[in-house]
Amino acid sequence: MSLIKLNNLTGNISSNDSTAYVADKISLEIEKDSTIGILGESGSGKTQLAMTIAGLNTAHYKMESGTIEYTFDDSDPFKVTSNKSDFDSNQIPFSELSEKLKKDKIYGNKIGIMFQDPGKSLNPFWTIGRHVEEIILTKDSSKKQNYETRKNDIFKALKLDVTFDKRYPNQLSGGQQQRVVIALVLLSEPDIIIADEVATGLDASVKRELLDYFLYVKNHTKSSLLIISHDIGLLTKISDRVILMYKGAAIQSLDADIIKSVILVTQFYNSPFFKSNDDLKNKINSDSDFDSISKELHPYLKGLLRSHIFKVPLSGDIPDPKKRTGNKCPFTDRCSDSSDECEESFPNLKLKNHGWVRCFNFDENNG
């Protein structure tokens, strides 16, 4: 069952001077108890997607078309739509999403959000204990004891000492602040946790710890995770599925395992061990060329992986979000596999191996 379902979501962000087209017919589903990674460069619209789902950009975002459906337990399902004639009790305009999420107490309880700089989410004048108290205050007073127990369990799992209760955010390191924010979000047992670029700016050791905590969330809680990042290494470690974004469009959804296996196989074929082992080379018949190994991947993802493994940058520049893509594939200009078809239209979703892709280079299959 989907918690949140996006259907052809198209939208833009306007400021006084210009408009950026940040969403181009995005369709995706976030199921219960799943972990989804959203992968894309800066300017791909991935952060705006998270903000839109969480109703945090209602002041500037204009929904041009499409719908977002929210289905949470213990809560009436509702739909956000841009079509005025559809407004009724369970269909609302995007501009009212934030109010609805507040009124129905969805913020914090059903949707939890974590941002890149944890320091900015914490009140510098409150101790960590006070932060916890504030959250418990918003809950049913009869369940207070449950929350106290829950808090102790979570703090233990995230290696947060009891002494943290009395400490202020500026007395904690960046990594500790990050863990505190995770703990506070988990306290409310949200159905879905949105984490926007939370691993950016962290060194490998702190990132690894963060991964452990996310794995705890994934394996020991019922919260779904929506992790937004440009870090392929992190996303493939934690996600079940990865959705690739480019210039506001979601262009591929595939199992994270597929990406992992491409990386593993490529690294193996390029290892000194394999290269010097003629015997093994003869026994393995399949082509060790990167292009053949990565044929399940959209050309853009192929390019990103090539950068990740071989340190070779993609040619070209990310397109200007202030220009509409029009009716063509947004990646055409940088794609080495593009054809005339790609300049004329942008294909719809093609089902492929438990996922989908929007590219003419792929044939549809139901595998």
Partner 1 sequence: MDNKQILTINDLSCKIFRSKQEFTLSPITFTLNNYETIGLVGESGSGKTTLGRLITGALCNIDNGNSGVIVGGKIKYMDRYNYQNSRIRKQLHFPIQMIYQDPKVALNEFMHVREQIKEAAMLGYQKIKTDLSQEEWVAQKVNHLLEILMLKDLENHYPFVMSGGQVRRLGIARVLAVQPNIIIADEPTASLDASTKNMVLDYLVKYTNSRKKKDLPMGSIIISHDLDTISRYSDKILVMKNGNLIELMTKDKNYNFAPKEDFTKKLWNDNAFFSRQ
Partner 2 sequence: MKKKLSKYYIWTMLFFLLLIILSISGTITTERSSLKWLPVLSGGHLLGTDGTGRDMAKVLIVGVGNNLIVSFVAAIISLLFGGLLGISLGYTLPDGTLKSVLVFITRTIKSVPLLIWIFLVVFWTELLGIYTSIFDNEMIKMVWVFAIFGGIYSFNFALLLMGHIQKLKAAQFIEACEFIGLNKKTIIFKHIIWHHSNSLFLSQASYIFAQCIFMEMTISFYKIGYGFRGEFSLGTIFNRAAIGSDSHHIFVPLAAGLILTTLFSYFSQSLEKKYQKL
Binding site for partner 2 (CB under 8 A): 16-18, 322
Residue among 13, 28, 158, 232 that touches partner 1 (CB under 8 A): 232
Q: Which residues in the 254-293 window bind partner 1 by CB under 8 A? A: 260, 263-264, 267
The C-alpha torsion from 27 through 41 and 302 to 317, rounded to 10°, is 120
Fill in the DSSP letter of residue 313.
Answer: P
- Applying CB under 8 A, the span of 2-10, 54-62, 170-178, 281-289 interacting with partner 1 comes to 170-178
What does R_g of the chain's alpha carbons equal in angstroms? 22
Closest to partner 2 by CB, 16 or 163: 16
Other CB atoms within a 10 A radius of the CB of residue 317 amount to 9
Structure-block tokens of residue 191? 């159905």
Nearest approach, Cβ of 16 to partner 2 (angstroms)? 8
Residue among 12, 23, 26, 43 that touches partner 1 (CB under 8 A): 43
Nearest approach, Cβ of 313 to partner 1 (angstroms)? 4
Give yes or no for residue 204 binding partner 1 (CB under 8 A). yes
Q: Binds 42, which of partner 1, partner 2, none (CB < 5 to 8 A, cut-off by type)?
A: partner 1
Nearest approach, Cβ of 60 to partner 2 (angstroms)? 13
**DSSP notation for 264-290:** HHHHHHTSHHHHT-HHHHHH--S---H
Distances from the Cα of 91 to the Cα of 50, 77, 86, 87, 130, angstroms: 20, 9, 7, 5, 37
**DSSP notation for 110-140:** TEEEE-S-HHHHS-TTS-HHHHHHHHHHTS-
Closest to partner 1 by CB, 276 or 366: 276
Site string for partner 1, 308-327 (x = CB under 8 A): x--xxxx--xx-xxx-----
Fill in the DSSP letter of residue 162.
Answer: G
Closest to partner 1 by CB, 316 or 326: 316
Nearest approach, Cβ of 19 to partner 2 (angstroms)? 11
Closest to partner 2 by CB, 22 or 304: 22
Structure-block tokens of residue 66? 């499409």
Closest to partner 2 by CB, 17 or 340: 17
Q: Binds 264, which of partner 1, partner 2, none (CB < 5 to 8 A, cut-off by type)?
A: partner 1
Strands 61-70 and 78-81: antiparallel
Closest to partner 2 by CB, 16 or 282: 16
CA 144 to chain centre: 32
